[in-house]
Amino acid sequence: MDTSRVLRVTNVVLLLTAYQMHWFEKKSQRFRLSLPGVVNIFVLGVFYAGCFSQHFDSKSSLLIVLKNVSPFMFVLTRTQLFLGAKVFAYSVYSSVKSVGALNSLVESLPTRNSGFRKDEVIAYILLGSTFGTLFCFVLYISYEMKFELPPLEDAMIGLALFLPHLILSGSLRLYIVLAWLTRGQLKQFKNNAEEELSDNLIKEEDNVASTSFTISTKSSSVANLDNLKRKLEILGANFRFFFQSIQHSLIFLFAMNGNCLLGGIYSYTYYWNTWHVIFEDRKRRIFYAANASIYACIASDYICLMLVLFMMEKERMNFIKCLDFFLAKRNALSKRVRPLAKDITKVLKRSFYSKFDSIIPFNISYLSLMVFVQLLIIILVVMFHYLNDEILLLKEELNSKDN
């Protein structure tokens, strides 16, 4: 896997989605502020301001219908709008803030490895899976609309809700790719440590070589393991620093996803019961596709994130098991190598743990719990509104019968 190539492709994607204003220089292996990136953000900001203002057009037929059909859905739209405005501003700040931590982490990764391999293909899949899912839905919706553009005002209203989400999701993609590259470096460190300990173990068991050669071999093994321990400490510290720089972006994205899911589930519930009567067949299919795209894209992001978290934790545990295997052979390792193996184990156990504001651990278990709680709250809110509306309709029906 060529780390530089993966970072360059990631950088191009983040520039196109306006999450980054920096350009990755292949020679220096650093992200630096670029004029095209700044201009891109400025132009997009002006365009976003125009889209934002459309939500306050009192003559907009789309907003009038939305407010009349479902006031609660209108409130959710406004919530997403104002949350998106904050997100857009924070994304610019977060991109500038995280570049220092990003450069530090990149320095801990190898500049070049062997050619195009499976790990690099997986990195590109993780980077573009959500875009691929979204493209399929957009293509189908465009087909159903006979490739005709919607009214400009309606399109701008939709883009005001979508653009901040698209930009902020770049933080998640950046984390996923960097976590995957860190996992690859962790695997390389494990192979190096296993090789050094195996060589030391063989020399100790066979006792074939001369005394001078054995001493030089032990000294080399000690130096290599000590160097590996330092690199591992630096990698773990830089990865935590990088996570801390983008943790609030991930929290913002989690909140936006929650509001999108609430809007999607709420609209589908009411559409399935009542709203479908005001749609014709073609528009019904468009609604179903647009509604399903919300779940599909969010699920794609969460699945990629959980996959990376799982693979990284698996690699860390494999490293620890490998060291424990050699440490179990009490008399096989020299007195100078054994403490180093224990130190590396301690580094692995205390490093590569990330927490939101040093409180909530960021791992697959807690992430699954957060998603479950979020979905539970959304279901309860939708049920409350649905049952409340049904009770009101029942009261009106009973009153009409009494009259």
Contact predicate 96/31, CB 8 Å: no
Does residue 11 surpass a pLDDT of 90? yes
**pTM to 2 decimal places:** 0.91
Residue 273 CA: distances (Å) to CA of 24, 61, 67, 377:
51, 23, 18, 21
Q: What is the mean pLDDT of residues 17-41?
A: 90
Nearby residues of 64 by Cβ (< 8 Å), 6 or more positions away: none
Q: How confident is the model at residue 392 (pLDDT cuts 50, 70, 90)?
A: confident
- In this predicted model, what pLDDT tens digit does every residue of 342-387 receive, in sequence order? 999 999 988 888 888 878 888 899 999 999 999 999 999 999 988 8
CA distance 15 to 37: 7
What are the pLDDT digits (tens) for 337-348? 888 889 999 999
For 378, the token pair is 């959304």
pLDDT of amino acid 116? 76
What span, in angstroms and rounded, lies between the C-alpha atoms of 107 and 238?
9
Which helix (DSSP H) or strand (DSSP E) does residue 304 occupy?
Answer: helix 281-327
Average pLDDT, the chain: 88
Residue 114: pLDDT band with limits 50, 70, 90: low
Rounded mean pLDDT, 245-270: 92
Rounded to the nearest 10°, the torsion over CA 264, 266, 268, 272 is: 180
Q: Would the pLDDT of 264 be above 90? A: yes
C-alpha to C-alpha distances, 304 to 66, 172, 311, 361, nearest whole angstrom: 34, 10, 11, 18
pLDDT score for 402? 67
Helix (H) or strand (E) holding 32: strand 30-33
Q: Find the mean pLDDT for residues 3-23.
A: 92
The domain tally of the chain equals 1
For residue 247, the enclosing domain spans 3-402
- Give pLDDT, residue 203: 52
The answer, yes or no, to whether residue 113 has pLDDT greater than 80, is no
Q: How confident is the model over 177-218, as pLDDT tens digits?
A: 999 999 999 999 999 999 888 877 655 444 444 444 444 445
- Contact between residue 186 and residue 311 where contact means Cβ atoms under 8 Å apart: no
Question: Residue 250's closest CA among 19, 16, 5, 7?
Answer: 19
User: What is the sign, positive or negative, of the torsion defined by CA atoms of 103, 109, 114, 120?
Assistant: negative
